[in-house]
């Protein structure tokens, strides 16, 4: 049944054209010499130069990366724990509430999450700044991590863990030496997902940031609200480039890891 009809070919071509042409246009026009984003007036890289002289953007980029590293690391730890509890925890008091709190943030409108966290921080008297953004980002991205990790844990052969325990491994050592290496690819992709979610977030960061901790999306949003700017196109191109390189490298690496594992398994037999 693996043959593409003309209909499949057309829908795949149009679908991917729809997904990629807007980004290609954005990238092409970041090299436009003119100020107008819609009229081509020759090749130039001057917007990149201006971008790197813009202190406000560089500061915001630094805050954003700091927040993303901290929140994605925390989210990975908490999310992996949550996934382990969901898949291996068995029955415990309040399990339904727990699974509800894991899935709800995935679809919760950001305006609600942002507003509610801000009101929490104000009512406990926590000053808005980097810390509050990290707490907010950790909370919603740990749910994504736990979904990614639990989908790996579900397909994982439990007898390996049990064998380790039977052979006298302490529970934590069994987790560290057996479970963790096997679910590692899922944990890493969970971290990457949490990292990009944090880099990307505008709404929750707007609610929970203070005046001294403006993140890059907040800066971009205020710059593009009124119109298009070639500097933002240059910035977007850099961000798209980083993501593309990252995603392609990790997918090639995981592909290599899979073939290596398959070969090892072959050799073992």
Binding residues for another protein restricted to 162-201, rule: CB under 8 A: 171-172, 196, 199-200
Binders in 139-158 for another protein, by CB under 8 A = 139, 142, 146, 150, 154
Q: Which of 150, 68, 73, 67 is nearest to 106 (CA)?
A: 150
For residues 33 and 29, give the distance between their C-alpha atoms in angstroms, rounded to a whole number.
Answer: 9
Does 58 help bind another protein (rule: CB under 8 A)? no
Binders in 217-256 for another protein, by CB under 8 A = 217, 220-221, 224-225, 227-228, 232, 236, 239-240, 243-244, 246-248, 251, 255
Shortest CB 74 distance to another protein, Å: 9
Structure tokens at 159: 């007898």
- Piece in contact with another protein (CB under 8 A), picked from 44-52, 53-61, 161-169, 203-211: 203-211
Question: From the list 69, 99, 128, 182, which residue makes contact with another protein (rule: CB under 8 A)?
Answer: 99
Does 135 help bind another protein (rule: CB under 8 A)? yes
Contacts of 177 (CB under 8 A, 6+ apart): 164, 169
Measured from the CB atom, the residue of 92 and 268 that comes closer to another protein is: 92
- Residue 117 CB neighbour total at 10 angstroms: 20
Rg, C-alpha atoms of the chain? 23
Shortest CB 31 distance to another protein, Å: 14
Does 85 help bind another protein (rule: CB under 8 A)? yes
For residues 34 and 29, give the distance between their C-alpha atoms in angstroms, rounded to a whole number.
Answer: 9
Binders in 37-56 for another protein, by CB under 8 A = 37-39
The answer to whether residues 207 and 130 touch, using CB atoms and an 8 Å cutoff, is no
Measured from the CB atom, the residue of 112 and 184 that comes closer to another protein is: 112
For residues 180 and 182, give the distance between their C-alpha atoms in angstroms, rounded to a whole number.
Answer: 5
Structure tokens at 65: 């990366």
């Amino acid at each position: 049944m693996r043959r593409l009809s003309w209909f499949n070919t057309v829908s795949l071509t149009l679908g991917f054209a729809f997904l990629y042409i807007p980004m290609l246009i954005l990238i092409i026009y970041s090299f436009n010499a003119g100020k107008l984003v819609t009229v081509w007036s020759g090749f130039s890289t001057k917007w990149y130069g201006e971008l790197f002289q813009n202190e406000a953007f560089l500061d915001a980029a630094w805050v954003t990366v700091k927040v993303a590293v901290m929140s994605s690391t925390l989210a990975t730890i908490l999310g992996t724990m949550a996934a382990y509890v969901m898949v291996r925890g068995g029955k415990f008091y309040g399990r339904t509430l727990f699974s509800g709190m894991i899935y709800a943030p995935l679809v919760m409108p950001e305006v609600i999450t942002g507003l509610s966290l801000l009101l929490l921080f104000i009512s406990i008297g926590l000053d808005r700044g980097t810390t509050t953004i990290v707490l907010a980002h950790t909370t919603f991205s740990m749910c994504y991590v736990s979904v990614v990790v639990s989908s790996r844990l579900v397909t994982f052969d439990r007898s390996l863990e049990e064998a380790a325990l039977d052979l006298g491994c302490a529970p934590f050592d069994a987790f560290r030496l057996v479970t963790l290496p096997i679910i590692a690819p899922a944990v890493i992709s969970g971290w990457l997902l949490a990292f990009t979610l944090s880099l990307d977030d505008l709404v929750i960061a707007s609610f929970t940031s203070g005046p001294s901790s403006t993140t890059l999306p907040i800066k971009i949003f205020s710059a593009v609200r009124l119109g298009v700017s070639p500097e933002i196109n240059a910035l977007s191109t850099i961000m798209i480039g980083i993501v593309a390189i990252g995603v392609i490298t990790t997918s090639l690496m995981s592909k290599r890891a899979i073939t290596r594992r398959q070969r090892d398994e072959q050799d073992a037999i």
